Amino acid sequence: MIEGTLAIVLNTLTIIIITFVIANVAVSIVASLMTQSFLTIQVQSRKVALWLLITMPWLTSIGVALFFLNGYLSSKAFEAETEFAHWHHMAVFSWSTWHGATLIIALVFSCFILGKKFVQLKQHHHNLKSLTHFAKPLTDNVFEIDMPKASAFTAGFIHKKCYVTSGMLKEMTEAEVEVVLAHEKAHAKNNDPLKKWLFSLFAAFFIPSLATRLKLHMTLAMEQAADNAVVNDKLTPTFVAITLVRVARLNALYSPIKSNELVASFGADVLDQRIYFLLGQLTLKPVNKWMTLILVIFILAASMSSIDGLHHFVEIVFSH
Amino acid sequence: MQIGELEKLVLQYLWKHDCADVKAVFTHFEKIRGGSLNTYQSTLDRLYKKELLSRHKVGNAFQYYPKVERQDLIGQLIQSVTSDFISDEENSLIAAFSSMSKDCNEEQLNRLEALIEVQREKLSQGK
């Protein structure tokens, strides 16, 4: 049995984990219900809403834990067991209870997710470094890769670099290449590679199907923002749109067309949405701030009030 | 997979010459960029361990051969770097112009092109 400060720390961590699970379920329900309405939100607002959703379990769990801790330390709020939210034994912790098991499982799971993500990051860094060795610098932070397949992408967290294949440079006109490079530079300016990785890190704590959907919405928002950044007096939205279709055609030459898989319909939706966006055929509205506030309060209240209920419910099955 | 600058040069040499032993590689690079025989021996060993070269013994020395073609290696590197972040097993660190557009079919592309053309006509009539 652990008592004192260490017990308070371990109990606080347990509260964080339990709140995280409850908030995660609540966010998952909200996100599943809202998934189609994301497409009607303005790009910038959509990005903010997605970041809020994906970080909500973390913010809620830390907020609730601090609230409980403050309640315990100040010894004013939540002393009685009948209160709205409380924790019975803040200064006592035992590893041989379900609290201990919860803490260990959460720790192992978090280490697994973080380890996997950092291994991926390391591999990506090595591959990118190797690819850069085979690339030829064109201009500042723009590299040409000798490859017949048309492709262009931006990578790197701190030193962001844009890559374009010789196949793309050969197959496309000067103006089309200008569109592609301006699009890639917009990704670099927006720090999209880093943001994508961070988003996928937070998404890894959600159920995979929902995580995929949220990442798809974030990808679409980033692509639309980069498409929009390209448009100017010379490069019209219709020209950017036709360039996008042209690149899709070039890619289709080298990749077998998939039509029945889930990924295929995702891809199709994304291209459609990008073209409709460029042609001004989408009626996009700013996010409803009041509705967002109500949802945040709902998730916070649901998480806070469920702690005690869940605590008692689990103890029907397991010994304390 | 990480390929260093010297490894890249040795690979390029072997792509050009098809096969060589360490002495041939050392003789070629000694004039251009210096280094000892051991440097090139360990570079060839590293490339062999990364499965980019194959080798067999002729007399007392190994003859090294490229195991992958240049285009295939670059293709593999691009594939691993650009794998999209939608799928869980793949990376998530790039932002691409053609993100997911490879999954579109001919019919969809024709429909989108027609839509863009209609918009263009509308705009030119409005001017």
User: Which positions in chain B touch A279 (Cβ < 8 Å)?
Assistant: 115-116, 119
Residues A54, A43 within the same domain: yes
Domain B5-66, what architecture?
Answer: Orthogonal Bundle (1.10)
pLDDT at A319: 61
* B contact test, residue of A279, A281, A282 with most B CBs within 10 A: A279
CA R_g for chain B: 24
Total domains, chain A: 2
What lies within 8 Å, CB to CB, of A30 at 6+ separation is A53, A295, A299
The residue type found at A113 is: I
For residues A127 and A141, membership in a common domain is answered with: no
DSSP 8-state code for residue B65: E
Answer yes or no: do A143 and A196 share one domain.
yes
Q: Return the closest-CA partner of residue A181 out of A160, A164, A194.
A: A164
Task: Output the six-digit token pair for A315.
Answer: 């103890």
Which of the two residues, A181 and A310, has the higher pLDDT score?
Answer: A181
Look at residue A75 in the predicted model and tell me its pLDDT. Answer: 64
Using alpha carbons, select from A266, A236, A294 the residue that is nearest to residue A39: A266
The pLDDT tens digits for A74-94 are 765 445 444 555 666 777 788
Residue B98 has its nearest CB partner, among A251, A263, A279, at: A251
Q: What kind and span of H or E run contains B29?
A: helix B22-33
CB within 8 Å of B106: residues ≥ 6 apart: A252, A257
Q: H-helix or E-strand containing B55? A: strand B53-58
- Domain positions in chain B: 5-66
Contact at 8 Å (CB) between A16 and A62? yes
Q: What is the pLDDT along chain B (127 residues), one digit of tens a residue?
A: 778 889 989 999 999 998 999 999 999 998 888 889 999 999 999 999 999 999 998 888 899 999 988 888 888 888 778 765 555 444 444 455 555 454 567 888 899 999 999 988 888 887 6
Q: In terms of domains, do A153 and A236 share one?
A: yes
Question: How many angstroms separate the CA atoms of A183 and A192, rounded?
Answer: 12
Q: Are A200 and B87 in contact (CB under 8 A)?
A: no
The tokens for A319 are 């010994």
> Residue A175 sits in which domain range?
135-283
Average pLDDT, integer, range A228-256: 84
Asked if A116 and A237 sit in the same domain, the reply is no
Same domain for A259 and A244: yes
Residue A145 has pLDDT above 70, yes or no: yes
Give B-chain residues touching A270 at CB under 8 angstroms: 99-101
In a shared domain, residues A139 and A279: yes
In the prediction, which pLDDT does A279 show? 92
Which residues of B, range 19-48, sit inside 8 Å of A by Cβ?
none
Q: Are A76 and A193 part of one and the same domain?
A: no
Q: Tell me: do A128 and A98 sit in the same domain.
A: yes
Q: Which one of B10, B70, B79, B92 would you mutate to disrupt binding with A, by most A Cβ within 10 Å of its Cβ?
A: B92
Query: Which residues, in sequence order, are bridge partners of residue A137?
Result: A143
Chain A residues whose beta carbon lies within 8 Å of the beta carbon of residue B73:
134
Same structural domain, A129 and A140: no
Are residues A262 and A302 located together in one domain of the fold?
no
Min distance A270 CA to chain B CA atoms (Å): 7
Joined tokens for residue A254:
């080298």
Same domain, A84 and A198: no
CB contact under 8 A, A130 and B1: yes
